[in-house]
């Protein structure tokens, strides 16, 4: 059987894409929505001194938090615009709802209801997004009012209650608007809207990051040999990510034969694909966010908390303690999130319900234990893979001053989202091709 890339190329050669009107409309809608997002990243929050805000990105106390937020928001946090929070509160809310579905019976029942239950869960996610965005917006507005540049210039021109209310309303409104845009892309465009918004923010800053890298070479901070080596290394990391994200463990599944009248049915052999990296990019995002909390709080609190300053110095990016804690948290969240998204008992029960079984394993509890055993071993490999991808760029960022956008989390997001989007485009093309073949066969039948 031809590979996915060969099949996609064959579809394109047949001119299927030129005739796929619906797919072209979906692509144009997606591009239009992303352009709206990019325009919003240049609309500033009222009352913020943009020039002073740009200087704060280089501040070691708050730069870690702002750099990460700036990376996901496409530069909106550095300019402190209406989309500074981006869609991160919605992602936090969706993760919380997913965790609650495993602990709250009523939410678990909604998850099992199918499409109707998923609609209600999405509604609960939107409701939860509002308070999360309000808390984050208030924290940012409070922190901005306490920030000053090295020359003593304030970030906020007119601090006070008026600015706090304005900033909270603006940032929360921007987040909810992006949430709506993301849902519209998912429903009427191509790909997952939330993931595409985050990816577009990262990709938008890549040209500037490449320019900064070349500037380091021009000034002599980095040698030309190292820059060439880095580009080859980046290609190798991307290839490694693609390989690991496509890697599956195929668990064989057998369905017994059954006789209906004089005919035999069933007896099919198939497999259940279990991904090596079931948790995706969630572990690095969670680990990075948690490790940046001390630096963020210390930057907002100033020099009034010596113990907080000590923790911040101990967990400074690039330190041995930071690397160890970062790696441990990635592995922990890999196991944690995998346990949330994959339930061995439920999978074994569904397999037993339809008469399927794993050869050599008894249906029911034994099958669930087998799935848990296989998935645990795969998660170890997946966690180590995430650690390797995330720590190597972090070392280069720390030791050689590379731009923050070359971090492992950003590369993972861009590659994973691109792979998912290309897969969906391919599915639309194949579906359109099959529809054309069906119409042709019906036309021949009428003749």
Contact 294, 311 (CB under 8 A): yes
User: Would the pTM count as exceeding 0.85?
Assistant: no
Per the CB < 8 A criterion, the answer to whether 243 and 275 are in contact is no
pLDDT given for residue 392 in this prediction: 77
Per-range mean pLDDT, top range of 99-113, 168-182, 339-353, 356-370: 168-182
> What Cα–Cα distance (Å) separates residue 138 from each residue in 143, 144, 161, 205, 299?
8, 10, 11, 26, 15
Q: Quick one: pLDDT at residue 47?
A: 87
| Cβ neighbours for 242, distance < 8 A, ≥ 6 positions apart | 415, 419
- Nearest-10 Cα torsion for 372, 375, 380, 386: -140
pLDDT in tens, 40-80: 888 888 888 877 777 766 554 444 556 667 777 777 877 88
User: How large is the average pLDDT for residues 280-308?
Assistant: 68
Structure confidence at residue 118 as a pLDDT band (50, 70, 90): confident
**Does residue 338 register a pLDDT over 50?**
yes
Angle at Cα 422 formed by Cα 417 and Cα 423, nearest 5°? 95
Largest CA distance in the chain: 90
Q: Kindly report, residue by residue over 255-265, the tens digit of the pLDDT.
A: 776 655 666 55
Using the predicted structure, report yes or no on whether residue 413 has a pLDDT greater than 90. Answer: no
CA gap 174, 68 in Å, rounded? 18
Domains delineated in the chain? 24-204 (1.10.3370.10), 206-447 (1.10.3370.10)
Instruction: Give me the mean pLDDT over the 405-409 stretch.
Output: 65
The DSSP output letter for 366 is H
Model confidence at 425: pLDDT above 70 = yes
For residue 11, the model assigns a pLDDT of 46
């965790």: which residue's tokens? 99
Q: Cite the DSSP H helix spans in 41-160.
A: 50-56, 63-72, 76-79, 88-101, 105-112, 115-146
Q: Going along 233-316, which residue ranges are E strands?
A: 248-254, 257-260, 263-266, 269-275
Buried (b) or exposed (e) across 183-193, using 16+ Cβ within 10 A? Answer: eebbeebbbbb
Shortest CA distance to 402 belongs to which of 281, 291, 316, 318?
A: 318
Which DSSP helix (H) or strand (E) runs through 376? helix 365-400
Token readout for 214 is 């070349």
Cα 312 to Cα 309: distance, rounded to the nearest angstrom: 5
Residue pLDDT, tens place only, 165-179:
999 999 999 999 999
Contacts of 189 (CB under 8 A, 6+ apart): 26, 27, 29, 30, 33, 196
Token representation of residue 316 = 């400074």
């Amino acid at each position: 059987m031809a590979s996915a890339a060969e099949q996609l190329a064959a579809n394109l050669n047949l001119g299927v894409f030129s005739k796929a009107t619906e797919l072209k409309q979906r692509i144009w809608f997606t591009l239009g929505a992303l352009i709206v997002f990019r325009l919003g990243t240049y609309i500033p929050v009222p009352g913020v001194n943009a020039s002073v805000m740009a200087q704060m990105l280089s501040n070691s106390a708050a730069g870690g938090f702002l750099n990460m937020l700036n990376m996901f928001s496409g530069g909106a946090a550095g300019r402190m615009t209406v989309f500074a929070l981006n869609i991160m509160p919605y992602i936090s809310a969706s993760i919380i709802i997913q965790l609650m579905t495993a602990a709250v019976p009523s939410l678990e029942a909604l998850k099992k209801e199918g499409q109707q239950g998923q609609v209600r869960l999405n509604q609960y996610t939107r409701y939860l997004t509002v308070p999360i965005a309000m808390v984050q917006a208030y924290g940012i507005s409070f922190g901005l009012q306490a920030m000053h540049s090295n020359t003593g210039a304030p970030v906020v021109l007119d601090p006070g209650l008026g600015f706090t209310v304005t900033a909270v309303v603006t940032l929360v409104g921007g987040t909810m608007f992006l949430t709506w845009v993301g849902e519209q892309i998912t429903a009427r465009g191509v790909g997952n809207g939330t993931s595409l918004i985050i990816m577009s923010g990262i990709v938008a800053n890549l040209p500037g990051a490449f320019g900064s890298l070349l500037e380091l070479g021009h000034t002599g901070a980095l040698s030309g040999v190292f820059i060439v080596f880095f580009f080859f290394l980046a290609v190798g990391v991307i290839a490694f990510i693609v390989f690991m994200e496509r890697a599956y463990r195929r668990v064989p599944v057998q369905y017994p034969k059954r006789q209906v009248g004089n005919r035999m049915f069933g007896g099919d052999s198939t497999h259940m694909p279990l991904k090596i990296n079931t948790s995706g990019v969630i572990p690095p995002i969670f680990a990075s966010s948690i490790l940046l909390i001390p630096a963020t709080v210390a930057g907002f609190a100033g020099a009034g908390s010596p113990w907080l300053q000590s923790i911040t110095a101990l967990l400074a990016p690039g330190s041995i303690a930071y690397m160890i804690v970062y790696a441990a948290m990635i592995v922990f969240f890999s196991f944690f999130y995998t346990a949330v998204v994959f339930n061995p008992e439920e999978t074994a029960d569904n397999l037993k319900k339809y008469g399927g079984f794993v050869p050599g394993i008894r249906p029911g509890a034994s099958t669930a234990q087998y799935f848990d055993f296989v998935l645990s071993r795969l998660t170890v490999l997946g966690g180590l893979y995430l650690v390797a991808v995330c720590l190597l760029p972090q070392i280069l960022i720390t030791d050689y001053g590379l731009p923050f956008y070359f971090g492992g989390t950003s590369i993972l997001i861009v590659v994973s989202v691109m792979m998912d989007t290309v897969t969906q485009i391919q599915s639309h093309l194949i579906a359109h091709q099959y529809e054309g073949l069906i119409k042709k066969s019906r036309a021949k039948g009428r003749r």
